[in-house]
Amino acid sequence: ADIFQEFAKQFMKWIREVLHGYEISSSILVRITELLEEFSIKIAYKQLPNVCSIHYKFPPKLKPSLVERVNSASVEMACRIDMAGGWTDTPPITYSVNNPAVLNIAVKVDHKKPIGCEVGKLIGFEGIYLISDLGSVLKYHSADEVVRNCSQPSKLGSLMCAIINASGFINEEIEDGVKKHRFDWNLLSDSNARGLMVRFRSDLPHGSGLGTSSILAAAILTALWTLFRRDFTRDDVVKTVLKIEQHHTTGGGWQDQVGGIVEGAKMITLDPSNQEVRWKVLPISAEFREEIERRLVLVYTGKTRLAKDLLQAVILNWLRSDSDILDAFKRLSNDAFEAATLMEQQTFPLKQCVNYHELKKTFASGSEPLFVADLIRCLKERNFVEEAWIAGAGGGGFLYVWLQRNVRVEDLRKFFQLCSAFNQLTVSSIEIDENPLQITTN
């Protein structure tokens, strides 16, 4: 970050020298600054280490498994609740801060795994068919279409295209000096199959803050590799989803996919020797689990946010080497380690969760919308909750609330129904998921 700050300072000095004697409006200087910031972000992403770069072992080369035949594969996955340390997992920041660490929990929502997909080979149909949970269908006739769509996140189906490309289903060839892409139908192990169906669902609202996009990417990637009869590990999925986020240009980190793949509560860190993701599952007693599932609930605020906008704001603040931001990253990491220790002692780390909430507001304006701040204040004043903190990057989506001991989920639902200011809000229960990734084949 210091290098970029010095570069920006020297560049602006050069601009002023070049334009000396000319009348420059403040709006032009602002625009130059904006362009410089955009350039700095691009340079930062270009310098990502191999473990996160799409220019190194992407897609990964996986060996065939010993499974003889798979016609279709289904995957269901949990979502994740982030409790401490989020933002320290975000590239390029995660490779510069000391001891990046995140504590999160894999959970079911309202008694079910909220994210799922099914993939299968098609005979009599050509191309790739993407089918959403709403029934809409996108068809891609050529591999070139898929590749073009990978890094355009505003386009429908873009994330799915990035996942398909990352799965190894597309081969790159040079034909008459022109780069061409072809679907690798041989991976379906059926000479009659020239079609691939990908059906996906999420029971969570858009912009939920529960890690949906990365976890959905993990689910679809797992299903595709199972269909292709590839031999892979959870670590392969975690690494590749991290690269999918860079390929898709949304720039997400590593905590979401680990949160949805690995069971229960876990402490997630980076190995300083090779910068690879590591995790440690934290033991939870039956009594402690019962308390968490009774008192930790989700309130959907109805406000959606674009995580990428918040992400870019945070990265810019980090690149500027703002002392408050750098200190906040240190506190995030320290709190994650403290929270993990408390969890191992069967104590819920409420103080660290609240610190996490406050630190998120430090990183980007808009992390806590006025409506959410009013909601938290109201719930505390009426003694429904002990504390509350925003999910994910914030800015909307879900709010995590820790109920007072004498309050039930039904009490909170009833209050919202009777309160005109909050009668559109919904409340969901959670269950800690000890088997968050389920694969079914046919």
Residues 8 and 36: beta-carbon distance below 8 Å:
yes
Sheet holding 426-428, edge to edge: 385-390, 398-403, 296-300, 426-428
Task: Report whether pLDDT(243) > 70.
Answer: yes
Q: How far is CA 52 from the centre of its chain?
A: 14
Distance between CA atoms of residues 417 and 128, nearest Å: 44
> Average pLDDT, stretch 89-111?
96
Mean pLDDT of 192-206: 95
β strands within 289-417, DSSP E: 296-300, 385-390, 398-403
Confidence of residue 110 (pLDDT cuts 50, 70, 90): very high
Q: What is the pLDDT of residue 81?
A: 98
pLDDT greater than 80 at residue 246: yes
Is residue 57 one of the residues assigned to a domain? Answer: no
Residue 308: per-residue pLDDT: 62
Question: Are 269 and 364 part of one and the same domain?
Answer: no
Looking at the structure, tell me whether residues 29 and 174 fall in a common domain.
no
Please check whether residue 81 is in contact with residue 167, taking contact to mean a CB–CB distance below 8 angstroms: no
According to DSSP, the β-strands at 385-390 and 265-270 are unpaired
What pLDDT shows up at residue 44?
Answer: 80
Q: Which of 254, 282, 310 is the last residue of a domain?
A: 282
Kindly state whether residues 77 and 220 are assigned to the same domain.
yes
437 part of a folded domain: no
Q: What is the pTM of this model?
A: 0.92
Q: Is residue 438 part of a domain?
A: no
- Mean pLDDT over 414-427 rounds to 94
Give tens-digit pLDDT for 264-305. Answer: 999 999 999 999 999 999 999 999 999 999 999 999 998 766
Give percent of the chain with pLDDT exceeding 70: 93
CA 219/CA 309 separation, integer angstroms: 25
Average pLDDT of the segment spanning 247-256: 92
Q: Is 84 helix (H, G, I), strand (E, B) or coil?
A: strand
272: three-class secondary structure by DSSP: coil
Annotate 311-351 with three-state secondary structure.
Answer: HHHHHHHHHCCCHHHHHHHHHHHHHHHHHHHHHHCCCCCHH
Structurally, how many domains does the chain consist of? 3
pLDDT at position 1 over 60: no
The sign of the CA dihedral 314, 317, 318, 319 is positive
In terms of Cα–Cα distance, which of 45, 232, 241 is closest to 159?
A: 241
User: What size, in residues, is the chain?
Assistant: 442
- Average pLDDT across the chain, whole number: 91
Cis peptide bond N-terminal to 59, omega within 30:
yes
- 426 is a domain residue: yes
Query: Do 259 and 298 fall into the same domain?
Result: no
Residues 65 and 77: their CA atoms lie apart, in Å, by 22
Is residue 389 domain-resident?
Answer: yes
Q: Are strands 101-109 and 79-84 parallel, antiparallel or unpaired?
A: antiparallel
pLDDT band, residue 31 (cuts 50/70/90): confident
pLDDT confidence tier of residue 394, bands split at 50, 70 and 90: confident
Q: What is the CATH number of the domain that holds 408?
A: 3.30.70.890
Domain, as residue range, for 273: 72-282
Confidence tier at 37 by pLDDT (50, 70, 90): confident
Residues 262 and 200 in one domain: yes
Say how far apart CA 262 and CA 277 lie, in whole Å: 12
Any domain includes 59: no
Whether 249 and 347 map to the same domain: the answer is no
Q: Is 67 contained in some domain? A: no
Q: Where among 255, 282, 309 does a domain terminate?
A: 282
Determine how many CB atoms are found less than 10 A away from the CB of residue 371: 14
What distance in Å separates the CA atoms of residue 368 and residue 189, rounded to the nearest whole number?
A: 50
User: Angle of helix 2-18 relative to helix 26-46, nearest 10 degrees?
Assistant: 140
Would you state the pLDDT for residue 318?
85
The mean-pLDDT minimum among 42-56, 211-225, 281-295, 375-389 falls in 42-56
Residue 26 is predicted with a pLDDT of 72
Indicate whether 297 and 237 sit together in one domain. no
Q: Do both 220 and 168 map to the same domain? A: yes
What is the three-class DSSP state of 182?
A: strand
Beta bridge partners of residue 137, listed in sequence order: 131
Q: Rounded to an integer, what distance in angstroms lies between the CA atom of residue 264 and that of residue 88?
A: 20
- pLDDT for 323 equals 84
Q: Which of 70-79, 170-179, 375-384 has the lowest mean pLDDT?
A: 170-179
pLDDT tens by residue, 300-340:
998 766 566 678 778 888 887 778 888 999 999 999 999 99
Question: Smallest Cα–Cα separation from 259: which of 390, 431, 439, 433?
Answer: 433
User: Crossing angle for the helix pair 307-319 and 323-344, nearest 10 degrees?
Assistant: 120
Same domain, 222 and 367: no
Mean pLDDT computed over 100-121: 98
Q: In this model, does residue 34 exceed pLDDT 80?
A: no
Q: Has residue 62 been placed in a domain? A: no
Arithmetic mean of pLDDT, 219-248: 97
The more confident residue out of 228 and 153 is 228
CATH of the domain at 240: 3.30.230.10
Q: Are residues 340 and 194 part of one domain? A: no
Residues 232 and 325 in one domain: no
pLDDT-based confidence at residue 134 (cuts at 50, 70, 90)? confident
Q: By the 8 A CB rule, do 409 and 387 touch?
A: no
Residue with the larger pLDDT of the pair 386 and 6: 386
Looking at 282, 315, 331, which one is the last position of a domain? 282
- Tokens for 388? 């509350």
337 and 412 assigned to the same domain: yes
Q: Which two tokens stand for residue 173?
A: 């060839």
CB-based contacts of 403: which residues, under 8 Å, 6+ apart? 294, 295, 296, 297, 384, 385, 386, 409, 412
pLDDT of residue 22: 64
Backbone angles phi, psi at 139, to 5 degrees: -120, 135
Residue with structure tokens 């989506």?
397
pLDDT of residue 393: 81
C-alpha 314/C-alpha 331 separation (Å) is: 15
